[in-house]
């Protein structure tokens, strides 16, 4: 993005392991407030979730299949959240990435100081997901009119974001070795003319969400023009305090 290495902003990243959805959601909120106050750098949380269906602000209850009770009976939580989009599934074998970025710094809008380009941000997330998949031989691409990363008409990775106080929350979910049967109980992302897929199903065997998280972090840093660094002491303390409290 035309900046010298020494001038590039930091993107701190941290792998959290498996974290319950509500705990990760609360952590995002705390970090977003800290980022808005300039107490932490831009950061990227990388993790997996136990089985959970989440419904975004634009969701249609009809996309929940037989309904929340039936989904809970399968062994998954069912949670209404404050991101965009409809229903999706998170669970074991899926790489989840939550960027906490000051949008106006990463994607400034010319002539509008303090405002960031949310559309450019979503396109950047797509580019990073596609680069991550292609690095392992999976021919991911965009699908016109849809967000995310696709292989043909099958969705490989989903995107759902929120912007508050100029800072991003929520993010991406890339199916690595995910049991795709979970998606069959809902209308994923409210899209009824396509399926879902995973890195494993597309022939990229032997991968883990942790390894793909590192690849995604590198790809995202490249796309947004940041220098990738591990979490510093302030971020680590905030994360460790949150997970310990949970």
Q: Which positions are annotated as active-site residues?
A: 189
Give the pair of three-digit tokens for residue 228: 């990738």
Instruction: Transcribe 131-199 into DSSP letters.
Output: HHHHHTT---B--TT--SEEETTEEEEEEEEEEETTEEEEEEEEESS--GGGGGGS-GGG--S-EE--T
Question: By C-alpha distance, which of 238, 164, 174 is closest to 208?
Answer: 174
Nearest to 86 by CA among 147, 18, 177, 130: 147
52 strand-pairing partners: 77, 90
Q: Is 84 helix (H, G, I), strand (E, B) or coil?
A: coil
């Amino acid at each position: 993005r035309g900046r010298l290495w020494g001038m590039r902003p930091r993107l701190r990243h941290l792998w959290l392991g498996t974290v319950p959805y509500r705990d990760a959601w609360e952590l995002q909120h705390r970090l977003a407030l800290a980022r808005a106050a300039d107490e932490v750098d831009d950061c990227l949380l990388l993790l997996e979730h136990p089985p959970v269906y989440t419904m975004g602000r634009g969701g249609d209850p009809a996309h929940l299949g037989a309904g929340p009770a039936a989904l809970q009976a399968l062994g998954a939580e069912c949670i209404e959240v404050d991101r965009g989009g409809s229903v999706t599934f998170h669970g074991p074998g899926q790489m989840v990435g939550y960027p906490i970025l000051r949008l106006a710094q990463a994607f400034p809008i010319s002539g509008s100081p303090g405002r960031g380009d949310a559309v450019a941000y979503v396109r950047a997330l797509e580019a990073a997901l596609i680069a991550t998949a292609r690095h392992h031989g999976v021919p991911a691409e965009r699908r016109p009119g849809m967000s995310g990363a696709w292989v043909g008409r099958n969705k490989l990775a989903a995107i759902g974001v929120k912007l508050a106080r100029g800072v991003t929350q929520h993010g991406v979910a890339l199916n690595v070795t995910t049991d795709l049967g979970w998606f069959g109980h809902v209308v994923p992302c409210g899209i009824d003319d396509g399926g879902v897929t995973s890195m494993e199903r597309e022939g990229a065997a032997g991968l883990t969400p942790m390894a793909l998280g590192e690849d995604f972090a590198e790809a995202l840093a490249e796309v947004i023009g940041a220098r990738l660094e591990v979490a510093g002491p302030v971020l680590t303390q905030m994360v460790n305090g949150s997970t310990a409290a949970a």
